[in-house]
Amino acid sequence: MELFQTLIDFILHIDQHLAAITSEYGTLTYLILFAIIFCETGFIVMPLLPGDSLLFAAGAISALDGSGLNVHLMVVLLIIAAFSGNMVNYSVGRYIGPKVFEKDYRFIKREYLDRTKKFFDRYGSMTIVYTRFAPILRTFAPFIAGVGQMNYGRFMLFNFIGGFAWVVIFSYAGFFFGNVPFVKENFESVVIGIILVSLIPSVYIFLKEKFGKKDEIN
């Protein structure tokens, strides 16, 4: 419970924590950011890391004089982190195979697996792009792609498109708008807003599956 509360505090005050990290570790901040993005996308047991808000906050911090962060270098490194993390996750899913659905695993929540699979059934390969903007689902999507033996080259293509769009949009949004006085004074509310907007795809699919008419999958 204490760990969960710490995570919530880190997410809601991510600008303050990231500023402290940058001040303390300087250019090593690149490595820390790389590790967080890689772990969120690369390890199926770590779906709650704050990807969207972290990218936005990192972009905002990089815009400050004296931050020591170059937003363009940061974006390139984090695209690589997002891409390579997904490739690891895909490879693990491909290795485990369909048997993942045959029994329960302690560190893998079955509900998230099933929900992501439904996303794949409906949207196919574009799921890799769409779920980049959906917390939790983005961690499970490459894993399910691997389980389903999605073509390697096709996965790499959609993985790059999704990772590129995700990192560029959130990082540069933070860079250009994160230090606008209103945003800076209400950063916690902005972070909550980012989280809520990011949840829209997941909520939409859940509601459509629950109340909508079942469509045939082409």
pLDDT tens figures, 107-133: 566 666 676 777 777 777 888 998 888
Select, from the ranges 1-10, 46-55, 79-88, 119-128, the one with the highest average predicted confidence (pLDDT). Answer: 79-88
User: What span, in angstroms and rounded, lies between the C-alpha atoms of 82 and 30?
Assistant: 13
What amino acid is encoded at 29 in this protein?
A: T
For residue 130, being part of any structural domain is answered with: yes
For residue 150, being part of any structural domain is answered with: yes
The CA distances from residue 99 to 14, 127, 218, in Å, are: 38, 21, 25
The CA distances from residue 160 to 32, 51, 111, in Å, are: 21, 16, 27
Q: Which residue has the higher pLDDT, 175 or 136?
A: 175
| Residue of 78, 171, 166, 81 whose CA lies nearest to 129 | 166
Predicted pLDDT at 118: 74
With 0-12 CB in 10 A as exposed, 13-18 as middle and 19+ as buried, what is 127?
buried
For residue 174, being part of any structural domain is answered with: yes
pLDDT tens-place string over residues 33-50: 999 999 888 887 665 666
Structural domain of 120: 2-211
Domain count of the chain? Answer: 1
For residue 216, being part of any structural domain is answered with: no
